[in-house]
Amino acid sequence: MSDQQDLLAVDDASPREGEVAPIAPLERRYRRWIGLFPVAYRIEREDELVGVLLDGATPDRVRPRLAEVVDLARAAAVAHVRVARTSTSRHEWSDASVVVGIILAVVLGAQSVRYLTVVARRALFSGPHAEPLSWFEVRGWYVPVAWAIVVALLALGWTRLACGAAWLASVARLAAVYEVATVPPFPWSTEPDGLSAAPPIVVQLTLGLVAAVLLSRPRRVRAAVDSIGRRRLMVAIVAFSVFLGAQRWNNLGGSGFDIWVLVVPFALALACWVSHVQLRHIPLDPVARRIGAGLLAVLVVFVVSVAATAATGAGGVVTRRDLAAIFAVGLGTAIVAALVLAVAPIAARRIPFRLVRRPRDPQVRRSAPVSE
């Protein structure tokens, strides 16, 4: 009893800067669970809520009761819905959606590199025992090239042309789907290597259409990129590509279950959770959070379209392993992207986090960062 009281008593002398008051385990655990609430809500309510919970706890308690945890989780869910419904954050969503579109375009365009390397490798090392060039790796080459053009146009700042090219790329993808549907697969591709058959094309068609739609507001592109900063955009793209690349590798590897595909994302998830707990007083930039949400939505589209093509049996077998890998990789990607978006500003921009703009304070919203 006195233990806890003492610890809290230290708290009393309001901590000076740089001096961290010790926190009792129970309080720390309560705060961890309160981490489930939206950031804006926590800024407003965390201390108060902790106070009420501690008031209600018997002195010998060191862990929250299950019922309390359930109660907090439920209230947090309600608060999230409430914030999402009442927030006047249309600009932030719009910026985030454009950025997600850019990331998708880059990922789709990056595949052209893969096509090029495959074709070059086969061309250079063609001997009597050389693997034949798979139709899949040659046909449809124009689609990633189209996406690479979209990315180049975006980089040049010709956003209108980029938007048009994105739609053209989607049309090209349709052509590729048609090609795959009408041209029979190679006789030796009987192995159920699932994702290297038609489904990825259909999935990529979906992703391409999503990207085209998201990029359909060319005027917002620049503002959207500015809103998160080029560096953070780069980091997000790299994080996303690495994980999609990992998934690719897993499929090309063919045999056996690559456990790391599951392990890596979940380890990162754990890291993310830990850092989330540590960083919970540092509010994430609203646009960054929405990009995270957008990527998550894209991954849902991704998984659903893979599942749909698998269910209809369209072109090739998608094994459970593939689905598990996609899910794991997708989850990992979203988490890594979110983590990166959360942490990158500290490293990359070296400006302190702006405090989250409170929903009820319209003047503060979207104010330009104060120059030092």
Partner 1 sequence: MSDKPLQEPSFLILTALAAGPKHGYAMLQEVERLSDGRVALRPGTMYTALDRMADEGLVEVDREEIVDARLRRYYRITGAGAIRLAAEADRLRSNATAAVRSLKLGGLGGVGS
* Alpha-carbon gap, residue 358 to 88, rounded angstroms: 10
CA–CA–CA angle 211, 214, 220 (5° rounding): 130
Does 19 interact with partner 1 (rule: CB under 8 A)? no
Residue from the set 28, 63, 82, 281 that interacts with partner 1 by CB under 8 A:
82
* Closer residue to partner 1 in complex, CB, 19/372: 19
Candidate list 2, 12, 17, 350; residue touching partner 1; CB under 8 A: 12
Work out whether 49 is an interface residue with partner 1 (CB under 8 A). yes
The answer to whether the CB of 236 falls within 8 A of the CB of 341 is yes
Give the H/E segment covering residue 343: helix 320-344
Q: Give me the least distance between CB of 348 and partner 1, in Å please.
A: 34
Assign residue 18 a region: left if phi > 0, alpha if psi is -120 to 50, beta otherwise? left
Residue by residue, what is the 3-state secondary structure of 160-195? HHHHHHHHHHHHHHHHHHHHHHHCCCCCCCCCCCHH
Element (H, E) at 328: helix 320-344
Q: How far is the CB of 29 from partner 1 (least distance, A)?
A: 14
Instruction: Check binding of 78 to partner 1 (CB under 8 A).
Output: yes
Segment interacting with partner 1, rule: CB under 8 A, options 51-59, 157-165, 167-175, 340-348: 51-59
Min separation Cβ 51 and partner 1, Å: 3
Residue from the set 32, 43, 61, 68 that interacts with partner 1 by CB under 8 A: 68
Measured CA angle at 367 (ends 361, 368), to 5 deg: 165
Residue 71 interacting with partner 1 (CB under 8 A): yes
Does residue number 45 form part of the binding site for partner 1 (CB under 8 A)?
Answer: yes
How long is the chain?
372
CA dihedral 108, 113, 118, 119 (to 10 degrees): 110
CB-nearer residue toward partner 1: 54 or 161: 54
DSSP assigned state of 196: G
Name the minimum Å distance from CB 281 to partner 1: 15
| Closer CB to partner 1, 11 or 226, in the complex | 11
Phi, psi of 210 (to 5 degrees): -60, -45
Pick the closer one to partner 1 by CB: 65 or 121: 65
The reply to whether 3 sits near partner 1 by the rule CB under 8 A is no
Give the Cβ contact number of residue 169 at 10 Å.
26
Min. distance of Cβ 166 from partner 1 in angstroms?
A: 41
Q: Which residues contact 278 (CB under 8 A, 6 or more apart)?
A: none
CB of 290 to partner 1, least distance (A): 22
Sign of torsion, CA 345 99 283 240? negative
Nearest to 356 by CA among 50, 17, 46, 15: 46
> According to CB under 8 A, which one of 63, 74, 219, 222 is a site residue for partner 1?
74
Assess 219 for contact with partner 1 (CB under 8 A): no
Candidate segments 53-61, 152-160, 220-228, 255-263, binder of partner 1 by CB under 8 A = 53-61
Candidates 7-15, 108-116, 286-294, 309-317; binding stretch for partner 1 (CB under 8 A)? 7-15
The CB-of-40 to partner 1 minimum distance in angstroms stands at 12
Distant-in-sequence, close-in-space partners of 116: CB < 8 Å, separation ≥ 6: none
* Count of residues near partner 1 by CB under 8 A: 27
Given the rule CB under 8 A, which residues bind partner 1? 8-9, 11-12, 45, 47-56, 67-68, 71-76, 78-79, 82, 86
